[in-house]
Amino acid sequence: MTITCREFIEFLLDYISGELPEDQRSNFVEHLAVCPSCVAYMNTYLQTVELEKESLSDVEDALPEDVPEELIQAILEAKRKAGG
């Protein structure tokens, strides 16, 4: 049983994190084999995640000198509260 594109999107995060159950994983992979649009969507999603990780890795190094200290502290506090 193959899945729809909508189901593919719903399962994407679980697939990437390795948490998708084996039966659903098989259906997910089958869908990838026949749907170039979902392959493109997944690749774009993975690239976006990677770019986000890269952009967050050097936050302190990339700050312009004129950024107010209060703004920096507010962002860092929000990041701490979000678990990052």
Cα-based torsion angle of the residue sequence 69, 71, 73, 78 in order, rounded to the nearest 10 degrees: -170
**Domain that includes residue 25, residue range:** 5-81
Q: What does the pLDDT read at residue 47?
A: 92
Q: Which of 56, 54, 47 is nearest to 76 (CA)?
A: 56
Whether this model's pTM surpasses 0.85: no
Q: What is the DSSP string of 20-49?
A: S-HHHHHHHHHHHHH-HHHHHHHHHHHHHH
Q: Which residue has the higher pLDDT, 84 or 45?
A: 45
> What is the tally of structural domains in the chain?
1
Q: How many residues does the chain have?
A: 84
As given in the structure block, the two tokens for residue 3 are 């899945």
- pLDDT tens profile 24-64: 999 999 999 999 999 999 999 999 988 888 777 655 566 67
CATH number of the structural domain spanning residue 31: 1.10.10
